Amino acid sequence: MSLDTLKSTRVLAVLRAPSAQSAILAADALVEGGVTGLEITFSTPDAPAVIRALDEKYGDRIYLGAGTVTTSQQAEQAADAGARFLVSPGTRENLTAAMKATGLTVMTGALSPSEVMAAVEYGTDVVKVFPASLGGPAYLRALRGPFPDLPLMPTGGVTPENIDEWFAAGAIAVGAGGDLCSTAALATGDWAEITRRAQLFSTVGVQA
């Protein structure tokens, strides 16, 4: 499976919103700021409806997917709604199989080398290194030793200040949650702040 779109998108915004409407408005703010990778988590109410609305609005102008996928039903719902990729916080064999059955790009979470090996064995397309904040770019670089060609996407602990370090350490892309789209900004509807943060993420760092 080609990962060119993920590579060119560079940043996936992990969007955990308190309501479907706030998720859509936050997505608009992110796109305005230059972040076009949108991961709508299933911890957001009515996540499939949000995905469908954003797909209808933006189409191929964004790279749209679902996150916090923990059941096969969620994988199917996201695919039906128009998601291009599916992300799970961890790796389970049956869940990975269900995610792969949709034909979408599959990203499953792992942290230790054994978990990374399991993710590869089960057929994930991209290993989501999570929570990447525990080891930082140095840990990602260490994983590159035994897994030199494996697509790795760190999520957690990615900031505008260190994003270039993550790419230099071997990230294919990065996932950014609270530092890009904070709980406070979502709660208060501070869309201008989300756009400002998106501009920082989209204009700094160069991919190694």
Q: Give how far Cα 45 sits from Cα of 16, 31, 41, 90, 150, Å.
A: 9, 21, 9, 21, 33
Q: Give how far Cα 21 sits from Cα of 16, 49, 164, Å.
A: 12, 10, 32
Which residues face 155 on adjacent strands? 175
77 vs 66: CA distance, rounded Å: 10
Is 76 in the active site? no
109 vs 131: CA distance, rounded Å: 9
Nearest to 88 by CA among 105, 104, 106: 106
3-state SS, residue 161: coil
Backbone torsions φ then ψ of 199, nearest 5 degrees: -65, -40
48 vs 30: CA distance, rounded Å: 19
Q: Which of 128, 161, 165, 193 is catalytic?
A: 128
Q: Which of 39, 56, 76, 165 is catalytic?
A: 39
Is 128 in the active site? yes
For the chain, the residue count is: 208
Residue 181's identity, in one-letter code, is C
Which residues face 109 on adjacent strands? 128
Residues acting as catalytic residues: 39, 128
